[in-house]
Structure 1
Amino acid sequence: MSQPKSRRQQDKLDKTNFFSQKKVAALAIQSAAADQQDGAEHSGGSSPGSEADSPQNGGLLTITTLKQALEEQSQRLISIWQSSVAELKRDIQDIGSRTTHVETKMEDLIDAHNASTEQIKSLSSQLQHCETKIMDLEDRSRRSNIRLRGIPETILQADLPSYVHGLFKALAPEVHTDMLLLDRLHRIPKPQQIAASLPRDVLLKAHYFHVKDLLMRRSRTAKNLPMEYAAIKMFSDLSAATLRQRKTFQRVTETLRANHILYRWGFPVRLIASRNGTTTTIHTVEEGLDLLRQWNLPVVGDSQAPKGPRQVEKDWHTTN
């Protein structure tokens, strides 16, 4: 805290007066010495009656006066300095108290932040668990659905049942026609990632799940299908949330394919990889990346994953 302007001006004036008095005293001493020398030259001695008025006594009086002035000025300067030092000490103590208060508040904020970080992690885990449950329920409601891609738009809605039955008989000729019962069959809007030249997908629901499962397995290994069915592709009907979740495993699946490691998808979303006769289930992307590093496999497109909130360390200790 700075001194008031009038105080600084007074200190400056006192110092100026002090040095002016020193200069006057020095001149007085020089004058007294000169008078004493002149008196010695013009008079060989002095009478006892004029001893008090001699130049020597005048010089002593001047020195005594100068000493008193110096002592007074010194006391004034000491008083000024003591006052300034005391005020500076008060300022330092005030700054120290405020700094201690700020550090204490920062410690409280760090404790609150770290507690919030742990709570966020816990809530994120619970939210992920709930989302996984919802995805699983939605996928279970779609478990009997089949998505057919590549059926020409020239096949009208009225002709779709006979066309699809023909495809299924080509895939599984041993299945009786009564077992190929369909609960519904229709085209669905085209996804944005599908080229405009391609026909819309056909969505159907098989009445018997074991028949649907057989048809899906046969479609993966089917060969020499009739020409009209050769370009047809069959997919499971999955929820949008499941597809997004599977996409997050892209780096893991690309690395597995690059190293010719077989894998398949499980429900809820998880990867089941087989390597050297050992089957490993991967529930999260982090688990998959750690597993690939344990296998010493370079991760395709590996990059620094975004980090969540982290704990903050205290860099100081509050002292009293």
Structure 2
Amino acid sequence: MAAAAGKPPNCSTPASPAPSDCSIDGADIKTLLSQLPSKSDLEGMFFKMEKTFVDKLATLHEEVSHVGNRMQTLDEEGITTALQLTKIQSLQQTHNEAILFLQRKIEDLDNRGRRNNLRIRGLPEAPDGESENVTLTLTSLFNKLLNRPHDTSINFDRAHRAVRPKALPNEKPRDVICRLHHYPLKETILQKAKQLREIIHTDHKILIFQDLAQSTLIARSALRPDTSALTERNIRFRWSFPFALLVNRQGTTHTISTPADVLTFQQALGLPTEPVEDRTGLPSDKDRQLPQRAKWQRTPRKRPKRAQSGNELTMTPRGATHRTP
């Protein structure tokens, strides 16, 4: 017990005395205090943190400024693009009007070249294997309309069937197009045909029209709902050249010469405002088809023929020919 009493207390054992017996001496405290950061250390640390933040903020400010400049540039380019698009649309409209004007001129020239032409519909075709004399048939028909002897001579420049395959027996016969040498005679025949409600020749109903360009026929077909509505309302109309639909009502002339005139024409005459097909000749986007390339197909590789006995030509793998021994 005496020896145990002479030893210093053991602070690590669980049975050690009170904590006051394990206190740290002054040298250790000075060592710990000397290891703590000083005021200058803290100032240096804060200076580095502040410099880092300033650098980061400067970089961020530069990026924001760059984005702002880019946005301003995009806004200016957008305004320029919008102005250019408006100019292009206006120029396209001008081009469309110019193209329509040129088409009307060409159409007028085509119709002027057909002034002496008549189109006859309903004349039966000769059976297969038999020749057909169109000129003789038209001479008999026109003389009948004019109440003249059937053999009275009529000067034709040409007369022929429409250029397309011959109609089948159960189909309508091809139209006959003829050109008379004298314009007054052609006009007399056309006016006589308009006066008669029905023309019967060889037990067939015959119709006689002025021969017109295909573009004119398509444009008139597009306005068929309007002409039908005018007929139902007993409103007289007439066609003009270049292509135009004219109605003179109460001293005012209403005209359709371009697709843009249709709506105003319908409203002025109290017609149903039905859309009509644009016949300017310009293809629309839905009708415009780009050429499609044929799908590429890999050509099967030819295998070399096996060598045969005898003096025959064979194909080697490289494509050279040689004779087998």
Q: TM-score, normalised by structure 2?
A: 0.64
Counterpart in the other structure of 2:84: 112
Counterpart in the other structure of 1:20: none
Cα pair distance change 1:216/1:307, threshold 3 Å = closer
Counterpart in the other structure of 2:15: none
Counterpart in the other structure of 2:99: 127
Rounded Cα–Cα distance in structure 1 between residues aligned with 2:278 and 2:132: 53
Q: Superposition pairs for residues 1-320 of structure 1, below 5 Å?
A: 68-154=40-126, 159-173=133-147, 180-190=154-164, 197-223=171-197, 225-226=199-200, 228=202, 231-257=205-231, 259-275=233-249, 278-300=252-274
Q: What is the RMSD computed on CA atoms of the aligned residues? A: 4.2
User: Where does structure 1 lack aligned partners over 5 or more consecutive residues?
Assistant: 1-37, 40-52, 310-320
Post-superposition offset of 1:210: 1.7
Rounded Cα–Cα distance in structure 2 between residues aligned with 1:101 and 1:148: 68
Post-superposition offset of 1:243: 2.3
Rounded Cα–Cα distance in structure 2 between residues aligned with 1:71 and 1:262: 102
Cα pair distance change 1:123/1:93, threshold 3 Å = same
Counterpart in the other structure of 1:10: none
Question: In terms of mean alpha carbon deviation, does 64-73 or 109-118 score higher?
Answer: 64-73
Q: TM-score, normalised by structure 1?
A: 0.65
Post-superposition offset of 1:122: 2.0
User: Where does structure 2 lack aligned partners over 5 or more consecutive residues?
Assistant: 1-18, 21-25, 286-325
Instruction: Give the SS at the match of 1:153.
Output: coil
CA contact (8 A) 2:158 2:178 kept: yes
Instruction: Give the SS at the match of 2:202.
Output: helix
Aligned residue identity for 1:100: Q
Cα pair distance change 1:165/1:65, threshold 3 Å = closer
Question: In terms of mean alpha carbon deviation, does 218-227 or 73-82 score higher?
Answer: 218-227
Number of aligned residue pairs = 259
Structure with the greater relative contact order (CA < 8 A, sep ≥ 6): 1 or 2? 1
Cα pair distance change 1:279/1:111, threshold 3 Å = closer
Post-superposition offset of 1:223: 4.4
Instruction: Give the SS at the match of 1:231.
Output: strand
% identity of equivalent residues: 24
CA contact (8 A) 1:186 1:203 kept: yes
Post-superposition offset of 1:287: 0.7
Instruction: Give the SS at the match of 1:152.
Output: coil
* CA distances 1:173-206 after superposition (whole Å, capped 9, x unpaired): 2799868422222222348999961112111111
Aligned residue identity for 1:101: T
* CA distances 1:36-67 after superposition (whole Å, capped 9, x unpaired): xx99xxxxxxxxxxxxx8xxx98xx79x9565
Question: In terms of mean alpha carbon deviation, does 117-126 or 294-303 score higher?
Answer: 294-303
